[in-house]
């Protein structure tokens, strides 16, 4: 996020697309902005597709298709994140 409180949506979409294994275009079409969390919700369409919430700081929380959006949001808001490999 920059000093004006704006984050780079294109960068976050590209990161989410790479993680989910979908195209940037598809990720851009399958997203929901979460301005109150300074984050994006991006899902992989189709049966068994997962989703993730990616914050403006680049941290994210992945969820499989059995997790509801409300559950996913609550976990992200509580500070849970997917462990990133180094």
Q: What is the DSSP string of 3-71?
A: TTS---HHHHHHHHHHHHT--HHHHHHSEEEEGGGTEEEEE--STT--EEEEETTS-EEEE-TTS-HHH
Asked if the structure places residue 3 within a domain, the reply is yes
Asked if the structure places residue 17 within a domain, the reply is yes
Percent of the chain with pLDDT over 70: 90
Burial, 38: exposed, middle or buried (Cβ in 10 Å; 0-12, 13-18, 19+)?
Answer: middle
Count structural domains, the chain. 1
Asked if the structure places residue 5 within a domain, the reply is yes
* Confidence at residue 1, expressed as pLDDT on a 0 to 100 scale: 44
pLDDT tens column, 28-56: 999 999 999 999 999 998 888 899 999 99
Asked if the structure places residue 79 within a domain, the reply is no
Asked if the structure places residue 28 within a domain, the reply is yes
Asked if the structure places residue 75 within a domain, the reply is no
* Confidence at residue 7, expressed as pLDDT on a 0 to 100 scale: 66
Structural domain of residue 22, as residue ranges? 1-38
């Amino acid at each position: 996020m920059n000093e004006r409180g704006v984050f780079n949506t294109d960068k976050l979409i590209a990161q989410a697309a790479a993680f989910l294994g979908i195209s940037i275009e598809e990720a851009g079409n399958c997203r929901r902005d979460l301005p109150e969390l300074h984050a994006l919700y991006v899902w992989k369409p189709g049966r068994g597709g997962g989703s993730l919430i990616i914050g403006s700081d680049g941290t994210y929380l992945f969820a499989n298709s059995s997790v509801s959006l409300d559950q996913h949001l609550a976990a992200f808001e509580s500070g849970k994140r997917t462990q990133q490999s180094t």
